[in-house]
């Protein structure tokens, strides 16, 4: 044997044929059988791999199909039946008829909202849905609500994890008298909220164990004051907090300075870079607004009967407004959208940042609105008057196909 290794290996395999050729034949037969086994193993591995791949793809397809069907079903369910296939006028991107919205009642009063909702089934109409989508699409982070507190009702202590809140006391049935305790039969508040990341923590004596002893009220938002309040409260009188604390959260908007313009009057609760002329309490409030993130600028706008708030837009803020009294007409121009519509008491309007808009009073009485702007910095606005004054006469003449002399006649 020339190959010793082959001979040694062949001795372990019984041979059925004597002679020198027997081991070689057996070895050749064994090599063929080994190759066949390798081929069969590879074939089996390929078959198994293919089967596993097909099974995985099938499961993925079934899961994807189920998810698509579930999403489709959710979308169909999330659309109120009355809104299905209904075309909505573009104006409802900017207009909400708040009195038609759902009334959320609690023992101490009721709330109505103009806001975005994650679940579209919570909207009462296609128009309300369009308004909510617009708020979310333009990243306004703004919510508006009217809060009615009944006689002796209580807005229970609470906090918001994702918003600052600004409120405006709209009316009260009885007025306070000097030297007497204020007692209002009904209070109606208007509240604007702007998104933030505020978190409050309770740390009473006893910690969490003490909090766990609290009894859940019938409603989370508010409760009426109990008849035996004096028995429950050890000391019903409270010492007035220092002014530097009070005026961080309170502002006398109605008593503030009036800023007239040709069509009406503005009053502001806002931050001002230059605090010259501000009272001490106004300065405290102004600095408080600018100190916190996602605060708002509030204002009341009174447009005289048949007066006009000239076209303008804001560089750094979305605007939301509520009609307190009167009636008017609004014009809005946004990229690809132009809308003109009437507004009345209780309506909420929304102007995304950079939207050109105007408001006109069309009633015999003044049009009064409460406005909120989504900035705690000084509001930046460009009005049509400022645009014309800031643009050269010859440029205006070319833009509007007029003689240059006509633009020189504009009052400065």
pLDDT score of 325: 96
Mark whether 138 and 282 lie in a shared domain: yes
Closest CA to 314 of 253, 251, 371: 371
Tell me, what CATH number does 312's domain have?
2.60.120.10
Mark whether 410 and 321 lie in a shared domain: no
User: Which residues sit opposite 105 in a β-bridge?
Assistant: 110
pLDDT score of 49: 75
Q: Give residue for tokens 């806002």.
A: 270
Mark whether 145 and 292 lie in a shared domain: yes
pLDDT score of 40: 76
**Token pair listed for 116:** 């975005």
Q: Where are the beta strands (DSSP E) in 115-186?
A: 142-149, 153-155, 163-172
* Gap between the Cα atoms of 346 and 349, Å rounded: 10
In-domain check, residue 355: yes
Mark whether 315 and 388 lie in a shared domain: no
Mark whether 165 and 276 lie in a shared domain: yes
In-domain check, residue 242: no
206-230 as b/e: b if 16+ CB within 10 A? eeeeeeeeeeeeeeebbbbeeeeee
In-domain check, residue 161: yes
User: Which residues sit opposite 264 in a β-bridge?
Assistant: 261, 303
In-domain check, residue 233: no
Mark whether 264 and 394 lie in a shared domain: no
**Predicted model pTM:** 0.70
**Token pair listed for 369:** 């609105």
* Gap between the Cα atoms of 407 and 351, Å rounded: 29
Q: pLDDT 10s digit of each residue in the chain, 412 long? A: 443 333 333 334 344 444 445 555 555 565 666 777 777 777 777 777 777 766 766 665 555 555 545 545 444 444 554 555 578 999 999 999 999 999 998 878 899 999 999 999 999 999 999 999 999 999 999 999 999 998 878 777 888 888 999 999 987 553 333 332 333 346 688 888 887 433 333 445 555 566 567 665 555 444 556 666 666 666 556 677 888 888 999 999 999 999 999 999 999 999 999 988 899 999 999 999 999 888 999 999 999 999 999 999 999 999 999 999 999 999 999 988 999 999 999 999 999 999 999 999 999 999 999 999 999 999 999 998 888 888 898 888 898 898 888 888 877 6
In-domain check, residue 170: yes
CB 368 within 8 A of CB 300: yes
Strand order through the sheet with 328-334: 337-343, 328-334, 356-361, 308-314, 381-383
Mark whether 314 and 401 lie in a shared domain: no
Longest Cα–Cα distance of the chain, Å, equals 134
Mark whether 203 and 162 lie in a shared domain: yes
In-domain check, residue 80: no
Consecutive H or E run containing 144:
strand 142-149
**Token pair listed for 71:** 């999403």
Mark whether 135 and 262 lie in a shared domain: yes
Backbone φ and ψ of 125, nearest 5°: -155, 170
Backbone φ and ψ of 311, nearest 5°: -55, 140
Counting every residue written for the chain, the total comes to: 412
Mark whether 261 and 363 lie in a shared domain: yes
H helical segments located in 316-360: none
Number of domains in the chain: 2
Q: Give residue for tokens 């750094």.
A: 316
Mark whether 308 and 286 lie in a shared domain: yes
In-domain check, residue 74: no
Closest CA to 191 of 91, 280, 113: 113
User: Which residues sit opposite 323 in a β-bridge?
Assistant: 369
Residue 118 to residues 75, 79, 90, 115, 121, Cα–Cα distance (Å)? 12, 12, 21, 10, 9
- Which range of residues forms the domain containing residue 411? 383-412
In-domain check, residue 13: no
pLDDT score of 13: 36
pLDDT score of 136: 96
């Amino acid at each position: 044997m020339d190959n010793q290794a082959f001979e040694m290996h062949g001795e372990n395999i019984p041979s059925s044929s004597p002679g020198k050729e027997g081991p070689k034949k057996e070895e050749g037969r064994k090599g063929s059988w080994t190759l066949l086994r390798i081929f069969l193993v590879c074939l089996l591995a390929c078959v198994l791999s293919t089967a596993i791949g097909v099974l995985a793809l099938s499961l993925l397809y079934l899961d994807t199909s189920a998810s698509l069907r579930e999403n489709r079903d959710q979308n169909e369910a999330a659309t109120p039946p009355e809104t299905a296939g209904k075309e909505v006028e573009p104006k409802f991107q900017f207009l909400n008829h708040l009195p038609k919205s759902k009334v959320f009642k609690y023992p101490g009063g009721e709330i109505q909202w103009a806001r975005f909702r994650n679940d579209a089934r919570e909207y009462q109409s296609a128009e309300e849905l369009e308004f909510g989508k617009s708020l979310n699409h333009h990243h306004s982070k703004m919510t508006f609500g009217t809060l009615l507190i009944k006689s002796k009702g209580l807005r229970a202590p609470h906090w918001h994890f994702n918003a600052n809140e600004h409120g405006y006391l709209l009316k009260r049935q009885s007025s306070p008298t000097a030297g007497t305790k204020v007692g209002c039969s009904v209070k109606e508040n208007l509240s604007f909220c702007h998104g933030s990341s505020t978190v409050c923590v309770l740390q009473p004596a006893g910690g969490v164990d003490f909090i766990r002893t609290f009894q859940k009220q019938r409603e989370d938002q508010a409760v009426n004051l109990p008849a035996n309040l004096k028995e429950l409260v050890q000391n019903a009188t409270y010492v007035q907090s220092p002014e530097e604390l009070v005026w961080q959260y309170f502002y006398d908007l109605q008593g503030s300075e009036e800023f007239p313009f040709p069509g009406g009057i503005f009053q502001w609760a806002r931050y001002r870079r230059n605090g010259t002329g501000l009272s001490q309490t106004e300065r405290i409030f102004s600095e408080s607004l600018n100190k916190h993130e996602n605060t708002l600028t509030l204002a009341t706008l009174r447009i005289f009967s048949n007066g006009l708030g000239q076209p303008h837009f804001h560089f750094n803020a979305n605007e939301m407004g509520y009609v307190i009294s009167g009636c008017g007409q609004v014009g809005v121009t946004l990229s690809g959208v132009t809308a003109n519509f009437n507004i009345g008491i209780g309506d909420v309007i929304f102007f995304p940042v950079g939207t050109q808009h105007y408001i006109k009073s069309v009633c015999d009485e003044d049009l009064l609105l409460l406005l909120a702007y989504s900035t705690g910095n000084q509001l930046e606005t460009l009005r049509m008057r400022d645009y014309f004054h800031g643009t050269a006469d010859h440029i205006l003449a070319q833009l509007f196909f007029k003689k240059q002399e006509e633009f020189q006649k504009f009052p400065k």
